[in-house]
Amino acid sequence: MCVRHVMMIALAAGSAWWLAAAESSPLPWTPPEDISPFLGDPDRGPEPSDQHRQQSDRQIPTIEVSWPINVGNPFTDWGHFRLDRRVTGARRGPGSDIRMDVPSRNRDEVAAYHGRFTTRAWGDGALLRYSIMVPDPQEAPRPEGGYPLVISCPGAGGVGEEGLASWRLHGAAVWANDHYRRQMPAVVVILHPQHRTISYTGEDSEENWGIKTLPAFDAYLELIDHYAAADGIDPRRISVYGHSMGGSSVWALVRARPQLFAAAVPLAGSPFSQAADYPLLNGTPMWIMMGNNDPWNGSKTYLMAYRAMRAAGHQQVRFWEIQDIGHSGSALTIMPVHQWMWSQVREE
């Protein structure tokens, strides 16, 4: 079904304080002149947490950080930046004002925003359901090339019917607030896989750890291909992001469709173990993010991926290695990430 045939969603009433905050939010967002409060300690390595040492099912080789970090602006420049956790708003302090929080701990407020989406089955729904929001042309007239398409991939907590009620999953409903709808209008798709999309491979004694795609991932590709070609979508402005299993899905989607995405943001997922996979990513600007204290693999796998991407010739990769956060999805909720995704245009 083409996007123009998708039923327009009646606007749901939102939280007054949230709408007021959204109305006052700067757009386009300008990075602060003093970025030092956001930068972490460049001398600290990607140490794993005690939980990782005890529970990891794969051994990640020791990595020495030997290239410049914290050089330039982490919001605008391509490169590797170790950031203080405050950049994600994980605690009060410098940087928390840049975050566009979904009122994610109030289920009623989240439901109000998600109520602006239509949820439906893909095919027979056995592998995939999804929620879609289409801009109101009265609020934001359709651009000549069509609207951008933004795709949100959930973590394992978003699998199955229970995932449809998860406030964590619906963090992507931030795109439904009035400010975003007017200033960054986009067709937004939140994926609801009914089974896992990714499995993880490799044993303790092996170095060939990695990711394997499952049938629900193939349903992702079918849906994305469909909407990428739909009337009303700008095929040059398709972006995808996700956390955990969703982050792993983002890596795999860019590999599977190397000429499709204008922007990709994988957070706290697993990248590829084989160097041959990384040249396929070269045509896609990527903003990769990992907490250095993630309980499963720390930031070591992303450090390896970043090195592999640079070795393969990737020129548009920004790496946020966030100091002192674990397996958190909070970095996906800050408005500069959304603005970057929305504004990216793929070169023909």
* Residues sharing a CB contact under 8 Å with residue 57, sequence separation 6 or more, in sequence order: 200, 202, 203, 204
Count of other CB atoms within 10 angstroms of residue 115? 17
325 domain residue, yes or no: yes
List the domain range (segments joined by +) for residue 116: 48-343
Rounded CA-CA distance 216/197 in Å is 5
Q: What is the pLDDT of residues 221-280, one digit of tens each?
A: 999 999 999 999 999 999 999 999 999 999 999 999 999 999 999 999 999 988 999 999
Residue type (1 letter), 44: R
Is 258 within a domain?
A: yes
Residue 40 forms part of a structural domain: no
Q: Looking at the domain assignment, is residue 33 inside a domain?
A: no
Angle at 116 between CA 110 and CA 121, to 5 degrees: 100
255-271 per-position pLDDT tens digit: 999 999 999 999 999 99
Asked if residue 175 is part of any domain, the answer here is yes
- Domain assignment present for residue 36? The answer is no
Q: Any idea what the CATH number is for the domain that residue 304 is in?
A: 3.40.50.1820
Report DSSP letters for 52-110, one per residue: HHHH-SSPPPP----S--S-S-TTTS-EEEEEEGGGGTSSSSTTGGGB----TT-HHHH
Residue 189: what pLDDT? 95
At residue 202, does pLDDT exceed 90?
no
**Number of domains composing the chain:** 1
Q: Chain centroid to CA 193: how far?
A: 16
Query: Within a domain: residue 265?
Result: yes
pLDDT value for 63: 63
pTM score of the predicted model: 0.85
Domain membership of residue 17 (yes or no) is no
Of 42-46, 272-276, 327-331, which range is least confident? Answer: 42-46
3-state secondary structure of 342: helix
